[in-house]
Amino acid sequence: MFMTQSLHRAVRVHPRKIATICGDRRHDYATFHERVVRLAGALRAAGVKAGDRVGILSLNSDRFVEFFFGTWWAGGVVNPCNIRWSASEIAYSLSDCDTRVLLIDDQFLPILPQLRAQAPCLGTVIHCSDGPTPDGLSSYESLIASSEPAEEIVRGGEDLAGVFYTGGTTGFPKGVMLPHRALYVNALALQAAYGDMSGMIGLHAAPMFYLADHDFLNTLALAGATHVTVPMFQPKAVAAIIEKERVTGALLVPTMLQMLVDAPTTREHDLSSITFLFYGGSPIAEAVIDRALPVMPNVRLLQAYGMTELGPVATILKPEYHTGPGRALGKIRSGGQPCVICDVRIVDEHGREVPRGTVGEIAVRGPGVMLGYWNKPEETAKALKEGWMHTGDAGYMDEDGFIFIADRLKDMIVTGGENVYSGEVENALARHPCVLQCAVIAIPDERWGELVHASIVCRPGTSVTLEEVQVHCKALIANYKIPRSLELLDSLPISATGKVMKNKLRERFWSGRDRRVG
């Protein structure tokens, strides 16, 4: 059970079929395979040995697909960097798991000096671009052209396939270790829900470092299907590529789907080729589905709820619950039912299963579950107990086995499909000289789903403005994590056990609304 198996099959069964499409560049499976094995040769020459991490910091491209398979072919472990993070955060994630070889595209060249400074483990940096390569970097295309095809180092099963960093509640990212087994069965599970995907033209519009897109990528690969990439999500470009390449499937976060459906330019394009949309990260407003169906008349929508630690799928809301009589059942407000590879239960603080309809922590078991957090045995032991991943998400299971996420990590904000951990923003705020106490919560927003909101108690005699807070945070955390609104309070509501009661803070903003975060 190893991730390159599908490549062996594809190159034997349909070498002339298109594997990747990136702008005007199209590679068939024979070419894709040739590039992968040469990239693997380059990585081996750069010192990558079995089990070594190889990073990538890049917008979406066909090279991103090659990166995954080339790294695995060389026996390596992928470490795709979160492109939304600050340079410090990225450097931390590279350094934490000792990534020595990094692929980088033009977009991120400007922060390379800071990465080198803060992640001294970095050795060879490979420049992925069609343009000239700066001094001191290796050119991706030159390496592909000049490297010998590598003999494959076969790793699989429980061997580590990737380290995927996820924002930690402590403010520091945690490296989720996923073995080949977890990625492989997740790719099978998505096909088990959808059926044969071998003819799919799949679009990577969500960032390719994102594990949900990665699962979609692995599924397409296992099916021997075609990958289409766009550098990043942009409604006009996405609608255009769907029409041009007759894209049949895509993974989007709900915010992207909404932006695509609502953009005036979308109506200029024919999206009737789309038969499958897989969305996750957060639930979807029913109004968005109603607006999406006329634009994509042949689409079947499938929601997945999960998390990086699950590789990532836990539950799936099937297409039939999105339309017609199935829609009327109201399950669309849930994350769906446990998928074929998962067993899900709702537990109390002692790990005991609670009755149907009772909110508790969502725990998940199955072959998609991670090995643990990189170098964090204590946090691993807290999360993984007897094979059960304790998600930290609160939810309940209804009588039909649908999982309703009551409050996805009580304190997490989901804005535009990105998870923002309030603790991390609070840590940044706390470093401002005027901030005495602070709490960060989600407030509702029509466009982004939720916005980051800061409640601050200032030190006596001081004050801050929203602008000052934003400038302060910009130096410390990614842009999307920065508070969009602010209120100054005399004190924060504190519980008997000394914790800030964020429910109380949220109440005013969410009154009369259901905050259901998937």
- State yes or no: residue 227 binds a copy of itself (CB under 8 A): no
Instruction: Using the minimum distance from each CB to a copy of itself, give the nearer residue, 32 or 184.
Output: 184
By beta-carbon proximity to a copy of itself, the closer residue of 13 and 475 is 13
Q: Please, which residue, 123 or 157, has the CB nearer to a copy of itself?
A: 157
Within 355-374, the residues that bind a copy of itself by CB under 8 A are 365-367
Region of 3-11, 205-213, 234-242, 478-486 interacting with a copy of itself (CB under 8 A):
3-11
Work out which of 48, 176, 397, 458 binds a copy of itself, going by CB under 8 A: 397
- The Cα 411–Cα 441 span in angstroms is 6
Tokens for 320, please give them: 């039939």
Nearest distance from C-beta of residue 345 to a copy of itself, angstroms: 6
3-class SS at 432? Answer: coil
Tell the smallest beta-carbon distance from residue 158 to a copy of itself (Å).
8
3-state SS track over 205-263: CCCCCCHHHHHHHHHHHHHCCEEEECCCCCHHHHHHHHHHHCCCEEEECHHHHHHHHHC
Q: Does 155 bind a copy of itself (CB under 8 A)?
A: no
CB of 187 to a copy of itself, least distance (A): 8
Size of the site for a copy of itself (CB under 8 A): 40
> Does the protein bind a copy of itself through residue 33 (CB under 8 A)?
no
* Residue closer to a copy of itself, measured from CB, 188 or 492: 188
**24: CB partners within 8 A, 6+ apart:** none
Task: Give the nearest distance from C-beta 379 to a copy of itself in angstroms.
Answer: 24
Within 170-209, the residues that bind a copy of itself by CB under 8 A are 181, 184-185, 188-189, 191-197
Q: Is 351 helix (H, G, I), strand (E, B) or coil?
A: coil
Which tokens is 360 given?
């508790």
Structure tokens at 411: 């304190």
Residue 204's DSSP bridge partners are 229, 251
With respect to a copy of itself, which residue has the nearer C-beta, 7 or 500? 7
d(CA 185, CA 313): 10
Q: Kindly tell me which of 358 and 462 has the beta carbon lying closer to a copy of itself.
A: 358
φ/ψ of 154, rounded to 5, equals -80, 120
| Positions 5 through 24 that interact with a copy of itself (CB under 8 A) | 5-6, 8-9, 12-14
Min dist CB 328 to a copy of itself, Å, is: 18
Both tokens of 393, joined, read 């998400």
Q: In what order do the strands lie in the sheet with 372-373?
A: 138-139, 125-128, 101-105, 53-57, 77-80, 160-166, 174-179, 372-373
As beta bridge partners, residue 78 has 54, 162
Please list every residue from 328 through 347 that binds a copy of itself, using CB under 8 A: 337-338, 340-345
Residue 349, exposed/middle/buried by CB under 10 A (0-12, 13-18, 19+)?
exposed
The smaller minimum CB distance to a copy of itself, of residues 165 and 184, is found at 184
x-or-dash pattern for a copy of itself, window 297-326, by CB under 8 A? Answer: ---------------------x--------
Pick out residues in 78-137 that bind a copy of itself (CB under 8 A): none
E-strand ranges in 263-342 read 276-280, 300-306, 313-317, 337-338
The answer to the question of residue 1 lying near a copy of itself (CB under 8 A) is: yes
Q: Which residue, among 288, 210, 205, has the nearest Cα to 250 in the 3D structure?
A: 205
Q: How far is the CB of 257 from a copy of itself (least distance, A)?
A: 22
By CB under 8 A, name the binding residues for a copy of itself: 1, 5-6, 8-9, 12-14, 154, 157, 181, 184-185, 188-189, 191-197, 222-223, 318, 337-338, 340-345, 365-367, 387, 397, 400-401
